[in-house]
């Protein structure tokens, strides 16, 4: 994922995967505008602040 993100020049991306019945992971896409707020709400982690810091070069 890091290599892909570098090649796409993305600082942020939501990667989508599926796991088949055999337990193998399959990559579907990386979305630069992916939804993540539900994770923040479920975990209480400051994801919005971390993304904003990264995009501003604060991190």
CB 31 within 8 A of CB 50: no
Enumerate residues 6+ apart whose C-beta is below 8 A from 7: none
Q: What are phi and psi of 31, to 5 degrees?
A: -115, 115
- pTM comes to 0.58
The pLDDT of residue 3 is: 95
User: What's the confidence (pLDDT) of residue 35?
Assistant: 83
* Mean pLDDT, each 10-residue run in order, the chain (59 residues): 92 92 97 84 94 84
In this prediction, residue 37 carries a pLDDT of 87
Local structure of residue 57 (DSSP, 8 states): T
């Amino acid at each position: 994922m890091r290599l892909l993100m570098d090649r796409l020049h993305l600082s942020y991306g939501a990667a989508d995967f599926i796991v088949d019945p055999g337990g193998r992971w399959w990559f579907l896409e990386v979305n630069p505008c992916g939804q993540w707020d539900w994770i923040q709400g479920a975990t209480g982690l400051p994801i919005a602040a971390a993304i904003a810091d990264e995009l501003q070069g604060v991190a």
